[in-house]
Amino acid sequence: MRLLLFGGIFLASGASPKKKRPAIVVGSLARSAKVLGAANALGFGISVATGSHVHLDLIGTGAFTVAAAATRGRALRTAVSATCVGAWATRLASFLFFRALKMGHDARLEETLSTVPGAFSFWLVSFAWGWLTMLPHTLAADNPRPPSLGPWSTIAGLLFVVGIATEVSADFQKWAFKQQQDPKASFCNVGVWSVSQHPNYFGNLCLWTGIWLLNVPALLATPGKLVASTLCPLFLTTLFVGQSAGWIGPALELADKKYGALPEYQAYKANTPLIVPYPIPLLKALAAAAFA
């Protein structure tokens, strides 16, 4: 199934043989697809050739940084949007690459990446994830006269800051917890993990919602693009809820297998929000992490 169909054919009107066809303009949507497609094709090749898991997030997430740079544009709003995407991707890819070097593999993906069709499906999904997630930025990037930044952008910026702060806290708190505890005997329920079972998912969803809101004023001029851009938050919400609830991927099954016999784990699952935490407990957890 084709995910994308780009380009167009421009025919010269009239009978004059001297009239030239106008050049095909490659938009941000196509540039994003090219960058992400090339990166994920490289990742697939490495997976098939080596069977390694180390490069998965470095390439899959790092590709966002390159795609953001390729679609940065000249307008301030587009530049801010690209900077947000690039900063998030660079930070997350670096952390996940460090973690992969230490761990060596990801048990959740061993079966999938053990075959060529499985590896192909993984990198195809990785490409679709990247392209869909970046839609708010890439669809707005080609607006020739995007509106200037204003109060709406402040709200978007706050969402982005809260989201990335939550994601960073979740990553480092869980990493520190695993270094101090027996990972097979205890589960992470400290810091932001005490207010959400999946604070990293919440942080990611929150910051991308902020990026979407940042670009909404530039998308209002083209209702079709505005509607298409909502695929980003809808896709991420579906993905994260599916992974958390166990109907996408084996993460829940693996966690239940490790910790299901612990009464405190069952209480944690019953009493802690699955993804979206309550605002006040989250802010307290973030403040505690900032001053720890």
Instruction: Give the model's confidence band at 264: pLDDT under 50 very low, under 70 low, under 90 confident, else very high.
Output: very high
The span from the CA of 49 to the CA of 65, in Å, is 25
CB of 236 closer than 8 Å to CB of 205: yes
pLDDT surpasses 90 at 182: no
pLDDT at position 25 over 90: no
What is d(CA 120, CA 152) in angstroms, rounded to the nearest whole number? 40
Distance CA 236, CA 218 (A): 22
Q: Residue 1: is its pLDDT beyond 50?
A: no
Asked if pLDDT for residue 9 goes beyond 50, the answer is: no
What was the pLDDT predicted at 6? 31
pLDDT for res 59: 96
Q: What confidence tier does 18 reach under pLDDT thresholds 50, 70, 90?
A: very low
Helix (H, G, I), strand (E, B) or coil at 255: helix
> Which pLDDT does position 106 carry in this prediction?
67
Give me the pLDDT at residue 150, please. Answer: 84
pLDDT for 185 equals 67
* pLDDT, tens digit, 9 for 90 and up, residues 132-172: 999 999 999 988 887 888 888 999 999 999 999 999 999 99
| Mean pLDDT, rounded, for 116-122 | 93
pLDDT at 143: 86
Burial class (CB in 10 A: 0-12, 13-18, 19+), 60: buried
DSSP label at residue 148 = P
Rounded to a whole number of angstroms, the CA Rg of the chain reads 21
**pLDDT-based confidence at residue 203 (cuts at 50, 70, 90):** very high
Mean pLDDT of the chain: 87
Positive/negative CA dihedral, 52, 53, 54, 60: positive
User: Which residues contact residue 8 at a Cβ distance below 8 angstroms, ignoring those fewer than 6 apart?
Assistant: 24
Where along the chain do its domains lie? 26-130, 147-292
207 Cβ contact list (under 8 Å, min separation 6): 84, 88, 159, 160, 162, 163, 164, 167
pLDDT > 60? residue 7: no
Q: Give the least confident one: 18-22, 47-51, 58-62, 91-95.
A: 18-22
Cα distances (angstroms) measured from residue 213 to each of 52, 109, 158, 221: 37, 33, 11, 14
Structure tokens belonging to residue 249: 């991927």
Predicted pLDDT at 207: 98
Rounded mean pLDDT, 113-137: 94
Count of residues in the chain: 292
Tokens at 52, concatenated: 């390694």
One-letter amino acid of 31: R
**Is the pLDDT confidence value at 282 over 60?**
yes
Q: Is the pLDDT of residue 10 over 50?
A: no
- With a cut of 70, say whether residue 13 has pLDDT above it: no
The answer to whether 159 touches 208, Cβ cutoff 8 Å, is no
> What is the average per-residue pLDDT within 105-128?
85
pLDDT single digits (tens) 60-99: 999 999 999 999 988 899 999 999 999 999 999 999 999 9
The two structure tokens encoding residue 153: 């952008």
Per the CB < 8 A criterion, the answer to whether 70 and 42 are in contact is: no
Euclidean distance between CA atoms 69 and 30, whole angstroms: 14
